[in-house]
Amino acid sequence: MTEPDLPILVDSHCHLDFPDFDGERAELIARAHAAGVTRMVTICTRLKNEPAVRAIAEAHPGVYYAAGTHPMHAAEEPLATVEELEALSRHPRFVGIGETGLDYHYTADSAAVQAESLRIHIEAARRTGLPLIVHSRDADEDMARILTEEHRAGAFTGVMHCYTSGRELARVALDLGFYLSMSGIAAFPRSTEIREIFAAAPADRILVETDAPYLAPPPHRGKRNEPAYVAHTARVGAELLSMTEHEFASLTTLNFERLFRKAAV
């Protein structure tokens, strides 16, 4: 049960199927609800794990899910097909396509297959009308180019999750109608440029997330993250936009519902 008078938030991106949460999922979801985080989207990063991720969403009120092939796994997994993603999208709790994208930090050698996988996911987002969930790291130029090329071929929408890239990619993504999602990294003391990017973005295009179990915001930095901690990142976002915590929570919840229409209540 949510505590009275708490801001009502959404964790737009977490990974509840990861082994970090084994034996504790019901408790951490309850902690999230108690902290005002009434909805969360758990993300499947390998399609072979989709049944397990779906089961978590089916078992817990307020939990939705998305599925795709993470770019760091693109060379290890069979390429998804548009038809496969379309079929998954018919589930009532399936709300987004991905995460997909480009990651050249550790896996630049698979750039070509990552791009192929990204374009498949884009086509699935285009056909289903569901938002694309994009991971981008050290790949700003290629990401901007692919998103722009594909948007010219047919509109789609989505979110740049855990946004930590540069100003130019943010500009391109926002111009294409995308949203930017703020993670715990935005609360790190040295993340000045990231905070500036969010401060300059249209307020109606900002989401908030944990990416749990990763990237815990202060005061939990360096520890396992969980959906309840999105409240700490939201507090930083509220300060950045000169809003109260309740105003920022209402803003990001409305933004979430506009993008993730199947998860609107």
| pTM, full prediction | 0.96
Domain that holds residue 40: 9-263
pLDDT of residue 4: 63
Question: Is residue 1 assigned to a domain?
Answer: no
Question: Is residue 71 assigned to a domain?
Answer: yes
The residues of the chain scoring below 50 in pLDDT are: none
Question: Is residue 26 assigned to a domain?
Answer: yes
pLDDT of residue 217: 97
Q: How far apart are alpha carbons 257 and 236 in whole angstroms?
A: 21
What's the pLDDT tens digit per position in 167-201?
999 999 999 999 999 999 999 999 999 999 999 99
pLDDT of residue 239: 97
Bridge partners, residue 208, by sequence: 182
Structurally, how many domains does the chain consist of?
A: 1
Q: How far apart are alpha carbons 73 and 121 in whole angstroms?
A: 14
pLDDT of residue 73: 98
pLDDT of residue 2: 55
* CATH code for the domain in which residue 237 is found: 3.20.20.140
Question: Is residue 217 assigned to a domain?
Answer: yes
Cα angle, residue 197 at apex, residues 188 and 6 outer, rounded to 5°: 60
pLDDT of residue 227: 98
Helix (H) or strand (E) holding 160: strand 158-160
Question: Is residue 4 assigned to a domain?
Answer: no
pLDDT of residue 3: 57
What's the pLDDT tens digit per position in 107-116?
999 999 999 9
Question: Is residue 3 assigned to a domain?
Answer: no
